[in-house]
């Protein structure tokens, strides 16, 4: 049985999905404390002591700007080392105007060069890393993907669209996702327009309360706060929604957006570089983020010319989770592991 060392936030959705790709293997999951950062100094020492000299077939590390840097303090040995990085690793920590950006870039680059496989979610991030000096031969562009077959089954059972048209905001409540901006733009629409905007998403307790209160204070019955939904409920809303909205100021290749596209609702996204990926080409409506009045005009036009879109059907086959699992297991040499965890 293959031995896999996982180093990353153990209950994070991304990590759990990647871990499922190692079914039949023996997983050793190691996580830090995301509540008490000072406690992590002791935890790193403890993990390093416990793993001293251990051998693994694969070490799979998640998030370059945290676990990716700390992994090299753990004196274990692996036949194959993998780092999965996300948009937050690039967008949050390495921006031209961010303090210490150059230092972060040097540290992350030094760390990435030590891994056998650098797994990135999009071609955009691949290009950035190559420009930094990461070898293109070590980069694997792959999301763990979305469950296309399950979504197709839901679509077949629930294909009714709402009237008046329903918009669903699908991103979380961190500031980068512009939820207040979104609410303002929809609230400023003339009362002659009939629609529903459902604000889905999760966040810290304070973020959730702030967004809920912000929506309540707009006194617009067309805008409804929903909050966090389970995956099945999320799909149920999207297959019946007319439109989904994702307008972050910066982004990676969001799986929530890919899932929303697979559910068949029309995508309204911010006009940023992340949505220049080929999968979005001609398949979404882009809106400006320079001011909310311009955004409102765009939404007004959409409501006035409802259904009048010349959009392509997005090609999502390369994001099919079942196909990506087979590909990844072949690349990492675990395709012969079939015993249950």
**Does any domain span residue 340?**
no
Same domain, 225 and 168: yes
pLDDT beyond 50 at 303: yes
Do residues 162 and 269 both lie within one domain? yes
Q: Are 179 and 310 contained in the same domain?
A: yes
Residues 212/225, Cβ–Cβ less than 8 Å: yes
| Position 153 in a domain | yes
Quick one: what percent of the chain has pLDDT higher than 90?
50
Would you say residue 338 lies in a domain? no
In a domain, 339, yes or no: no
Asked whether residue 43 falls in the same domain as residue 191, the answer is no
CATH number at residue 223: 3.40.50.2000
- Whether residue 164 is preceded by a cis peptide bond, meaning omega within 30 degrees of 0, is yes
Query: Is 33 a domain residue?
Result: yes
Residue 165 sits in the same domain as residue 278: yes
This prediction has a pTM of: 0.85
**Tokens (6 digits) for 25:** 């293997």
- For residue 341, being part of any structural domain is answered with no
How many CA within 13 A on the CB side of residue 292?
12
Give me the pLDDT at residue 244, please.
94
Residue keyed to tokens 């210490």: 100
Q: Is 170 a domain residue?
A: yes
Domains in the chain, number: 2
Q: Which residue shows structure tokens 């955004």?
A: 295
Long-range contacts for 215-222 (Cβ within 8 Å, ≥24 apart)?
A: 215/183, 218/183, 218/184, 218/187, 220/186, 220/187, 222/186, 222/194, 222/195, 222/196, 222/197
Same domain, 9 and 54: yes
Mean pLDDT of 44-66: 92
Which of the 8 DSSP states describes residue 314? P
- Residues 199-257 have pLDDT tens digits of 999 988 999 999 999 999 999 999 999 999 988 899 999 998 999 999 998 887 888 99
Based on the domain organization, do 113 and 165 belong to the same domain? Answer: no
Residue 118's pLDDT is 96
Mean pLDDT of 75-92: 86
Q: What domain range is 116 assigned to?
A: 3-145+320-332
């Amino acid at each position: 049985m293959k031995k896999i060392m996982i180093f990353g936030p153990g209950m994070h959705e991304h990590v759990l999905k990647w871990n499922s790709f190692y079914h039949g293997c023996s997983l050793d999951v190691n996580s830090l404390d995301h509540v008490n950062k000072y406690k992590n100094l002791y935890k790193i020492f403890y993990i390093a002591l416990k793993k001293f000299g251990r051998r693994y077939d694969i070490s799979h590390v998640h998030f370059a700007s945290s676990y990716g840097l700390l992994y090299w303090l753990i004196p274990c040995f692996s036949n194959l080392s993998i780092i999965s990085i996300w948009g937050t690793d690039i967008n949050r920590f390495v921006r031209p105007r961010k303090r210490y950006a150059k230092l972060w870039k040097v540290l992350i680059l030094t760390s990435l060069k030590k891994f056998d496989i650098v797994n990135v979610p999009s071609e955009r991030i691949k290009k950035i890393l190559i420009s930094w000096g990461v070898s293109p031969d070590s980069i694997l562009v792959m999301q763990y993907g979305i469950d296309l077959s399950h979504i197709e089954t839901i679509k077949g059972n629930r294909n009714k669209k709402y009237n008046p048209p329903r918009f669903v905001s699908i991103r979380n409540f961190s500031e980068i996702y512009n939820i207040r901006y979104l609410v303002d733009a929809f609230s400023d629409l003339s009362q002659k327009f009939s629609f529903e905007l459902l604000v889905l998403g999760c966040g810290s307790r304070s973020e959730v309360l702030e967004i809920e209160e912000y929506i309540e204070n707009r006194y617009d019955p067309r805008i409804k706060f929903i909050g966090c939904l389970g995956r099945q409920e999320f799909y149920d809303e999207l297959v019946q929604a007319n439109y989904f909205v994702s307008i972050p100021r910066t982004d990676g290749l969001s799986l929530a957006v890919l899932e929303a596209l697979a559910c068949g609702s029309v995508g309204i996204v911010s006009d940023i570089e992340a949505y220049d990926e080929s999968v979005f080409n001609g398949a979404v409506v882009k809106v400006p983020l320079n001011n909310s009045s311009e955004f409102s005009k765009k939404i007004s036009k959409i409501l006035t010319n409802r259904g009048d879109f010349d959009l392509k059907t997005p090609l999502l086959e390369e994001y099919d989770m079942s196909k990506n699992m087979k590909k990844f297991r072949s690349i990492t040499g675990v395709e012969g592991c079939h015993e249950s965890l």
